[in-house]
């Protein structure tokens, strides 16, 4: 039980869905049941697979993870089961596959829903008898591995649609575990955000940024389509944007800022652009004369010059500027 409790250390969260998930890890981890994890992209399926592995008697052996999305039939066989020397162009030596590397431990197969029909057949044969063949070999090999699979699509629906083998689905889904999306985890968002900020700051030996209440409210209001992975990336950016200081809502990425904050930013940009247009038009009408342009705009010559410097290169002064009080007296 102690090993199981230790396996939960990486599963941060206190919401009911996460407490249920932790209970499933403690329940299914010590067994030999195959577990299928279903959750949106970025919900931490590999982390849960590792927790299941660490809660099992196989914890002292390897957990080997492979994402099979985009694998061709031969690549699936070569990567999962290995290949013989000369099995294909470039195979200058025999190589063991992920199954052999996971011997005695756990094999985590992610994106299993993307397997082609032929790859599904080859995986089914392995799951049924624990035997496999390397690509380019005829000898059968045996393996002792526990398989955990994962998808971000509904495999039961794909079975009904004829896009995934029903017998393979039954072999994979000894137990089903659902990973909640971040938008349904309530204040876990803030718990995770602070954890990621501490981790980033510790890595560079500094104090972590502190989230202001309005920034916390924005994080809670966001829908997090990228889930925990999106949140972690945002905290990495904040550690760079606001090192060692309170995090304001303006420090957040634009998509996370409330509409009012985004509109304020848009208004400031629009006002700046319009100010630059008015200054440029006045300068053009008066052939670059700061004195005459400043008079038209109702400000001092020095005030106009400072404004031009603040607006930057968007304002073009048609001729060299001589900044002196005599220049205005002479009509510049």
**297 falls within a domain:** yes
**130 falls within a domain:** yes
In tens digits, the chain (332 residues) has pLDDT values of 455 567 788 899 999 999 999 999 999 999 999 999 999 999 999 999 999 999 999 999 999 999 999 899 988 988 999 888 766 766 667 788 999 999 999 999 999 999 999 999 999 999 999 999 888 878 889 999 999 999 999 999 999 999 999 999 999 999 999 999 999 999 999 999 999 999 998 888 888 889 999 999 999 999 999 999 999 999 999 988 888 789 988 889 888 887 655 554 555 666 677 787 788 888 888 878 888 888 888 888 888 888 887 777 667 766 555 444 444 544 44
**327 falls within a domain:** no
Residue 148 shares a structural domain with residue 34: yes
Residue 135 shares a structural domain with residue 275: no
pLDDT of residue 260: 52
Residue 212: give its domain's CATH number. 1.10.8.60
* DSSP letter for each residue of 201-269: HHHTTSPPPEE-HHHHHHHHH---TTHHHHHHHHHHHHHHHSTTSEEPGGGS-GGGS-HHHHHHHHHHH
Residue 114 shares a structural domain with residue 165: yes
What is the pTM assigned to this prediction? 0.75
The half-sphere exposure of 16 on its side-chain side, counting CA atoms within 13 A, is: 1
**331 falls within a domain:** no
Residue that is written with structure tokens 């005030």 in the block = 303
Q: Of the residues 161, 180, 199, which one is the last residue of a structural domain?
A: 180
Residue 307 domain boundaries: 271-318
Cβ atoms 11, 37 nearer than 8 A: no
Residue 23 shares a structural domain with residue 156: yes
pLDDT of residue 298: 84
Closest by Cα among 142, 140, 68 to 99: 142
| Count of the separate structural domains present in the chain | 3
Residue 159 shares a structural domain with residue 194: no
Question: What are the Cα distances from residue 110, in Å, to 11, 30, 67, 123, 210?
Answer: 19, 21, 5, 13, 35
Residue 194 shares a structural domain with residue 309: no
pLDDT of residue 289: 83
Residue 62 shares a structural domain with residue 165: yes
**48 falls within a domain:** yes
* DSSP letter for each residue of 3-29: HHHHHGGG----SHHHHHHHHHHHHHT
Residue 19 shares a structural domain with residue 97: yes
Residue 312: give its domain's CATH number. 1.10.10
pLDDT of residue 80: 94
Residue 89 shares a structural domain with residue 153: yes
With 0-12 CB in 10 A as exposed, 13-18 as middle and 19+ as buried, what is 274? exposed
Q: Of the residues 145, 180, 215, which one is the last residue of a structural domain?
A: 180
Residue 273 to residue 253: CA distance in whole angstroms: 22
Residue 279 shares a structural domain with residue 214: no
Residue 117: give its domain's CATH number. 3.40.50.300
**CA dihedral of 50, 38, 152, 155, whole degrees rounded to 10:** 130
Reading phi first (left if > 0) and then psi (alpha if -120 to 50, else beta), residue 325 is in alpha
**262 falls within a domain:** no
Residue 228 shares a structural domain with residue 94: no
Residue 147 shares a structural domain with residue 219: no
**64 falls within a domain:** yes
pLDDT of residue 134: 85
pLDDT of residue 325: 45
Residue that is written with structure tokens 């950016």 in the block = 237
pLDDT of residue 269: 64
**263 falls within a domain:** no
Q: Of the residues 156, 180, 204, which one is the last residue of a structural domain?
A: 180
Listed in sequence order, the DSSP H helices in 103-165 are 117-129, 155-160
């Amino acid at each position: 039980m102690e090993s199981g409790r230790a396996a939960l250390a990486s599963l941060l969260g206190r919401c009911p869905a996460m407490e249920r998930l932790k209970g499933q890890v403690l329940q299914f981890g010590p067994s030999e049941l195959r577990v299928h994890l279903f959750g949106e992209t970025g919900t931490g399926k590999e982390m849960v697979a590792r927790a299941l592995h660490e809660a099992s008697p196989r914890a002292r052996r390897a957990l080997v993870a492979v994402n099979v999305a985009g694998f061709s039939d031969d690549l699936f066989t070569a990567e999962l089961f290995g290949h013989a020397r000369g099995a294909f162009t470039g195979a200058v030596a025999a190589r063991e596959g992920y199954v052999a590397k996971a011997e005695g431990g756990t094999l985590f197969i992610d994106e299993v829903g993307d397997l082609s029909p032929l790859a599904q057949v080859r995986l089914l044969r392995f799951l049924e008898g624990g035997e496999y063949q390397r690509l380019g070999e005829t000898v059968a090999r045996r393996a002792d591995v526990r398989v955990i699979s994962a998808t971000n699509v509904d495999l039961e629906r794909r079975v009904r649609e004829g896009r995934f083998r029903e017998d393979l689905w039954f072999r994979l889904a000894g137990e089903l575990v659902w990973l909640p999306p971040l938008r349904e985890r309530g204040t876990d968002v803030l718990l995770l955000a602070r954890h990621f900020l501490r981790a980033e700051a510790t890595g560079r030996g500094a104090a972590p940024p502190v989230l202001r209440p309005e920034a916390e409210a924005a994080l809670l209001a966001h829908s997090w389509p990228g889930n925990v992975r999106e949140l972690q990336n945002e905290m990495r950016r904040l550690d760079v944007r606001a090192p060692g200081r309170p995090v304001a809502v303006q420090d957040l990425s634009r998509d996370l800022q409330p509409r009012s904050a985004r509109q304020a930013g848009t208004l400031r940009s629009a006002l700046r652009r319009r100010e630059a247009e008015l200054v440029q038009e006045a300068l053009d009408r008066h052939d670059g004369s700061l004195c005459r342009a400043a008079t038209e705009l109702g400000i001092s010559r020095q005030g106009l010059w400072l404004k031009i410097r603040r607006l930057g290169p968007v304002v073009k002064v048609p001729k060299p500027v001589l900044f002196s009080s005599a220049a205005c007296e002479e009509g510049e």
